Chain A
Amino acid sequence: MRFIVVRRTKPHQYIKPLIIVLSLLTGMILVAILLVLIGAHPVTTLVTIAYSFITPQVVKDMLLLTMLGCALLISFKGAVWNVGAEGQLYVAIIPIVWITLYAVPWSASSPPHQQVLVILASITVAALFGAAWGAIAGALRAYVGIDEVPVTLIMNYVAYYLVNLLILGPFRGRYVYGYIRTDDLPDAYKLSINIVMQRTGNAFLDGFLEFIRAIVYYAYWVLAAILVALLTWVVFNYTSIGLRIKILGSNPEFLKAVGVDARKTILTALALSGSLVGIASAIYYLGDLTRLTYPIQSQTASYGYLAILVAWLSMLELPLIPLSAYVVSSLRNAGRNMQIFGLGGLESTLILLGSILLTYSTLRFLTEYEVRVVK
């Protein structure tokens, strides 16, 4: 008896969801095993993971990761692997800090329309910065032939240290009580809606109300996530660049054969992807982060890396991005809840991320191939 790998003649109906479920289960089981090995209780561990899927903390991460997942989808569809969202995320915050704290700071005498204009300008400039940062890797890949994966990864470090320098230098806050960070974003520019809800004493009802509160608090994010997803859908379904990116991913030779400049397509894919990361970045900064703390590489929540998982787990299907973002957010939440050494769940998150991606990357060949047993 032997196993053979053969190409599928027709796609399997359930293989994609099956791979996703298997990947998730493997990741969770691996983390649970590791935690059990170092003394955690298996049932507690699994309950913690399960509970993490229904806590209100997932709302924020899910919305942000939906935006970032869409951004990465733009380049991934073209087999252009933008793994530099982490750097693009922080580089895009640079102009926002400058605009909101130095160029157009808010004061009691500021006209009301300044609030809207500054927020819109911040989002626009962040998108441009994200696009420019992404375009550097795009140009190196398209015109020089350097693989975009190491370049985008190395540029993440460049972005970290660049932002650090700005925090230490021109962006260092004046009202920071000795901390090395930027000043807080003025309240007028914050993209969040704070509401107070009375506790009822009923655990179920209070949990539900917490969810409502989180959704209201991040209402602008909901809107932004919908817009970013819509924009991504329009790009892929109604624009020539979207079509070119899709062909670049599936059949780059065909693209060249019909006279399309593949290099421009690569460049555009990375720039577009970076610009959407920039938009997400603006929403993140204006709605939640509100300041940059030194050193940024130790403060980051690694959303840029988590977004890779979101895009891959969605099987590069736009409708699955929010679902994938929800799952990844919940797992991140689980990682935080399962602190092993008081490190903030960093290790659990990384292992979850790595093992899910590893299983997924290994099993993904089953979408095009099948394994048969022959005598």
Chain B
Amino acid sequence: MSLEQYVANSIIELAPVFATFYLVALGHSLFEKAGLLDLAIDGVFFMGSSIAVRAAVASGSPIVGTVVAAIVTMLLGVALAFLMTYLPISHGAIGLSMMFLGYGIGIIVGYPARLEVGSIAMYAYSEGWAIAIMAISIAIGATVHIILKYTKLGAAIRACGENPHAASSLGVNVLLTRLIAGAVGFAIMGAGSSFFTLAWQKFWDPKSYTLGYGWLAFTVALTSGRHPIVLMPISLVFGGLIFYRVRIGVMYGVEKDVANLVPFIAALAAMLICYATKLKKVLAPPASLGKVYYKEERTV
């Protein structure tokens, strides 16, 4: 195999992995940029990937799977953003609860599809889609970056994340801004998670919820400072690490569980590097991330 062919094959192989991690981390970042702590990520990841399978099998089209997953998770994002902004409640507790609920709903939604068709490969994206999926993911990321950096809405989202009270006094509608961030962020997460089952794995199993890939996407977002552009290379590195871990393991005679362990150790190490070095300032989370937004009297 020539070098060009090898590179081309690698890109095709890695594209769905990249798209999965990139989009899930991107949506998560957008949500958190608005000051909303997202600990539901792993449950939403599994739920989105399961909904996508069910919708793809029902409709016969992976595109429908992706769209339905994005819509359902978008509604969830709106609900979470509403609860976290409107009521003085713990973002962490709500997120963790949603994580468990996401696992449960994911199993209930996904299992009948597997019983019905056995293998989901014929309902998944073909290899020809790989580059398109990667390109669309990059385009979405670039759009989010432009919105966040150059538009009024982006400034409002960032302001809500840094200091929602100050943003409110300057005329920003904190609730509306967070609802938009929640809707768009979770829709992107949903689309990304659909690529996990429909483009990367082409397989669904109820026990997939124990994989913890949502937490790896969480780490990707954290270590790239929730920046849409910085997310790209880090998603590629983590995606590559996960995708090639078993292959590298086989090459060097390493146990499968060592290969499974490596991404999680890498995630902890990445967090440590980001927080223990000067990168901490550069990659600092929004100042009001996860903080209860409460004004003494609130109309609900």
Interface residues of chain A, those whose CB is within 8 Å of chain B, are 2-7, 34, 38, 81, 83, 140, 144-146, 149-151, 153-158, 160-162, 164-165, 168-169, 295, 297-298, 305, 308, 312, 340-341, 343, 346-355, 357-358, 360-362, 364-365, 368-369, 371
The smallest beta-carbon distance between A370 and chain B, in angstroms, is: 11
The smallest beta-carbon distance between A305 and chain B, in angstroms, is: 7
Asked whether B103 lies within 8 Å of A161 as measured between CB atoms, the reply is no
Asked whether B87 lies within 8 Å of A362 as measured between CB atoms, the reply is yes
Asked whether B257 lies within 8 Å of A161 as measured between CB atoms, the reply is yes
Residue B210, interface by CB 8 Å: yes
Residue B138, interface by CB 8 Å: no
The smallest beta-carbon distance between A373 and chain B, in angstroms, is: 10
Query: Chain B at the A interface: mostly helix, strand, loop or mixed?
Result: helix
Contact of B207 among A6, A298, A312, A352 (CB under 8 A): A298
Asked whether B115 lies within 8 Å of A341 as measured between CB atoms, the reply is yes
Asked whether B115 lies within 8 Å of A145 as measured between CB atoms, the reply is no
Asked whether B264 lies within 8 Å of A347 as measured between CB atoms, the reply is no
Asked whether A150 lies within 8 Å of B300 as measured between CB atoms, the reply is no
The smallest beta-carbon distance between A251 and chain B, in angstroms, is: 16
Residue B189, interface by CB 8 Å: no
The residues of B that contact A355 with a CB separation of less than 8 Å are: 97, 101
The residues of A that contact B297 with a CB separation of less than 8 Å are: 4-6
Asked whether A146 lies within 8 Å of B264 as measured between CB atoms, the reply is no
* Chain A, Cβ-Cβ closest to B267: A154
The residues of A that contact B294 with a CB separation of less than 8 Å are: 5
The smallest beta-carbon distance between A88 and chain B, in angstroms, is: 15
> Contact mask B17-54 → A, CB, 8 Å, 1/0?
00000000000000000000001001100000000000
Contact of B300 among A4, A298, A346 (CB under 8 A): A4
The residues of A that contact B299 with a CB separation of less than 8 Å are: 2-4
A2-B300, A34-B108, A360-B93 given; 19 more Cβ-contact pairs under 8 Å: A83-B96, A145-B280, A150-B39, A158-B268, A161-B264, A165-B261, A297-B207, A297-B210, A308-B96, A341-B111, A347-B111, A350-B107, A351-B104, A354-B103, A357-B97, A358-B98, A362-B89, A364-B89, A371-B300
Contact of B98 among A144, A340, A354 (CB under 8 A): A354
The residues of B that contact A153 with a CB separation of less than 8 Å are: 42, 212, 215
The residues of A that contact B93 with a CB separation of less than 8 Å are: 312, 357, 360-361, 364
Asked whether B298 lies within 8 Å of A4 as measured between CB atoms, the reply is yes
The residues of A that contact B39 with a CB separation of less than 8 Å are: 149-150
* Chain B, Cβ-Cβ closest to A340: B108
A151–B275 Cα gap in the complex (Å)?
13
The residues of B that contact A347 with a CB separation of less than 8 Å are: 104, 107-108, 111, 206
Question: Most chain-B Cβ atoms within 10 A of its Cβ — which of A81, A151, A157, A169?
Answer: A157
Residue B90, interface by CB 8 Å: yes
* Chain B, Cβ-Cβ closest to A160: B210
> Contact mask B279-300 → A, CB, 8 Å, 1/0?
0100000000000001011111
The residues of B that contact A7 with a CB separation of less than 8 Å are: 296
A263–B278 Cα gap in the complex (Å)?
20
Asked whether B268 lies within 8 Å of A155 as measured between CB atoms, the reply is yes
Query: How many A-B residue contacts, CB cutoff 8 Å?
Result: 157
A5–B85 Cα gap in the complex (Å)?
12
Contact of A6 among B83, B104, B210, B296 (CB under 8 A): B296
**B contacts with A, residue count (CB < 8 A):** 54
Asked whether B257 lies within 8 Å of A165 as measured between CB atoms, the reply is yes
The residues of A that contact B296 with a CB separation of less than 8 Å are: 6-7
Query: Known contacts being A145-B280, A350-B101, A364-B89, is A165 close to B264, with CB within 8 Å?
Result: no
Question: Most chain-A Cβ atoms within 10 A of its Cβ — which of B104, B108, B218, B280?
Answer: B104
The residues of B that contact A346 with a CB separation of less than 8 Å are: 107, 206
* Chain A, Cβ-Cβ closest to B209: A350
Residue B94, interface by CB 8 Å: yes
The residues of A that contact B212 with a CB separation of less than 8 Å are: 153-154, 156-157
Query: Known contacts being A146-B275, A161-B264, A365-B87, is A351 close to B105, with CB within 8 Å?
Result: yes
The smallest beta-carbon distance between A287 and chain B, in angstroms, is: 25
* Chain A, Cβ-Cβ closest to B103: A350
The residues of B that contact A369 with a CB separation of less than 8 Å are: 88
Residue B255, interface by CB 8 Å: yes
Residue B170, interface by CB 8 Å: no
18 A/B residue pairs, CB under 8 Å, sorted by A: A34-B108, A149-B39, A150-B218, A150-B219, A155-B268, A161-B257, A295-B257, A341-B115, A350-B107, A353-B100, A353-B101, A357-B96, A358-B98, A361-B89, A361-B94, A361-B97, A362-B83, A369-B88
A151–B222 Cα gap in the complex (Å)?
12
Sorted nearest first, the 9 A-B pairs with minimum C-beta distance are: A354-B101, A350-B104, A351-B104, A354-B100, A357-B97, A361-B93, A358-B97, A161-B261, A347-B107
Asked whether A365 lies within 8 Å of B89 as measured between CB atoms, the reply is yes
Asked whether B265 lies within 8 Å of A158 as measured between CB atoms, the reply is yes
